[in-house]
Chains A and B, each alone.
Chain A
């Protein structure tokens, strides 16, 4: 039986992952560096924006890290990795839908700003109605909205500050925007 180079490579990755599961850091580094170009290829075949694709590559590596205990060395490595990558790509498409929602929220927030607020965005005061609506949010949602929209942190920085994963923070912020939209909508009507 002839053995192809890809077979060798995935066998090698299986061995590296088994060593990583035992805590071998150098094997883990070799594995992550080895799979990175493969993951990048998988992601860039679906997501054409380079920056967005690189975000997804990073999410895949994070997921590999979180899911490493679910890999069994006697099973092929590549389907395991491909499933994680596929999942991250689907999540990114969902997130981009949420971002579109968020852009709508920002427009809504802008509408609530009074004419005197037409100054540099960094210097603009938050309209009282909006601030009151933010205050009424449940604590976790309020924290996510404040960190991203008022303190202007990136999702990663905000997640670190809140002590949750970036995914969880994005979900909380999205729920916060949704609740704000409903609350402000009620006020307007």
Chain B
């Protein structure tokens, strides 16, 4: 046994002495439910303000593109939230990788449909920029509560790659924000959907990944 081995044995003694019962990190499903719960509270309030579900159901059945955008946003946001949580659980790298890809795919699909609808002039109604901005702010606000829950969960977990955890958390949380405004906003027009709703996760990923990664690095160390 050399000096290094003896130090390691000493470290084991210290760690055993330092042992205290640990409150286990919630299961992935429970953690995801917490994030969705935070989102649902905001989305519920937004639904009360913006319109009855009957209008939503009518749009879902009458407009296939609207339904596809909802499906893409929902899939991408859920995958992003799951990936953000699994990124702080050692041994779940495969889940994180798959969830990250699914998130890019879902959000990407929604955005591509939004751009295609704009270019093809399917729904050419133009809303004032102030309405686009109002929806953007609502989407960002509705994504904030799930983001806070994700950050709290990430802080409780074992942060391995702060930048990766930050990126995927923003995609998930603000994907949920965009989904909520897309579901309940009754403004017509493909351009409004693109600027006011679908741009929310993209813009916030670009703006907030670096600061959030720094924050996660700090709480890790």
B22, A83: Cβ atoms under 8 Å? no
Task: Please choose the segment from A60-68, A100-108, A126-134, A181-189 that sits at the chain B interface, where 4 or more of its residues have CB less than 8 A away.
Answer: A60-68
B7 CB, nearest partner CB in chain A, Å: 7
Please tell me which one of the listed residues A20, A164, A167, A168 contacts residue B19 in the complex, with CB atoms under 8 A apart. A20
B20, A23: Cβ atoms under 8 Å? yes
A68 touching B90 in the complex, CB below 8 Å, given contacts A61-B12, A62-B11: no
A168, B221: Cβ atoms under 8 Å? yes
B98 CB, nearest partner CB in chain A, Å: 15
User: How many of B's residues come within 8 Å of A, CB to CB?
Assistant: 30
Please tell me which one of the listed residues A21, A51, A71, A168 contacts residue B4 in the complex, with CB atoms under 8 A apart. A51
A28 touching B16 in the complex, CB below 8 Å, given contacts A57-B8, A70-B90: yes
Question: For A81, what are the chain B residues with a Cβ–Cβ distance below 8 Å?
Answer: 90-91
Q: Is B18 an interface residue (CB 8 A)?
A: yes
> Which residues of chain A from 1 to 56 have any CB-CB distance to chain B below 8 Å in the complex?
20-23, 25, 28-29, 32-33, 36, 50-51, 54-55
A62, B158: Cβ atoms under 8 Å? no
Question: For B7, what are the chain A residues with a Cβ–Cβ distance below 8 Å?
Answer: 54, 58
Closest B residue by C-beta to A77:
B91
> Which residues of chain A from 74 to 91 have any CB-CB distance to chain B below 8 Å in the complex?
75-76, 79-84, 87
A164 touching B221 in the complex, CB below 8 Å, given contacts A57-B8, A72-B27: yes
B16, A25: Cβ atoms under 8 Å? yes
Interface of A is mostly: helix
B19, A28: Cβ atoms under 8 Å? yes
A84 CB, nearest partner CB in chain B, Å: 5
In the assembled complex, the Cα of A32 lies from the Cα of B12 at a distance in Å of 7
A167, B158: Cβ atoms under 8 Å? no
Question: For B21, what are the chain A residues with a Cβ–Cβ distance below 8 Å?
Answer: 21-23
A153-189 near B? 1/0 per residue, CB < 8 Å: 0000000000011011001000000000000000000
Question: For A63, what are the chain B residues with a Cβ–Cβ distance below 8 Å?
Answer: 158
B165-200 near A? 1/0 per residue, CB < 8 Å: 000000000000000000000000000000000000
In the assembled complex, the Cα of A75 lies from the Cα of B89 at a distance in Å of 12
A58 CB, nearest partner CB in chain B, Å: 5
In the assembled complex, the Cα of A57 lies from the Cα of B158 at a distance in Å of 18
B127-169 near A? 1/0 per residue, CB < 8 Å: 0000000000000000000000000000011101000000000
A102-145 near B? 1/0 per residue, CB < 8 Å: 00000000000000000000000000000000000000000000
Interface of B is mostly: loop
B158, A29: Cβ atoms under 8 Å? no
In the assembled complex, the Cα of A75 lies from the Cα of B12 at a distance in Å of 24
Q: Is A99 an interface residue (CB 8 A)?
A: no
Please tell me which one of the listed residues A23, A54, A66, A80 contacts residue B8 in the complex, with CB atoms under 8 A apart. A54
Q: Is B69 an interface residue (CB 8 A)?
A: no
In the assembled complex, the Cα of A36 lies from the Cα of B11 at a distance in Å of 11
B57 CB, nearest partner CB in chain A, Å: 39
13 more contacts with CB within 8 A, not counting A50-B4, A65-B18, are A28-B15, A29-B16, A32-B16, A36-B12, A54-B7, A57-B8, A58-B8, A58-B11, A67-B90, A67-B157, A81-B91, A83-B93, A171-B221
* 21 CB < 8 A contacts A-B: A21-B24, A25-B16, A28-B15, A29-B12, A32-B12, A54-B5, A58-B7, A58-B11, A61-B8, A61-B15, A62-B15, A65-B18, A69-B156, A70-B158, A71-B24, A71-B90, A72-B24, A72-B25, A72-B27, A79-B91, A167-B221
3 A-B pairs closest in CB distance: A54-B4, A168-B221, A80-B91
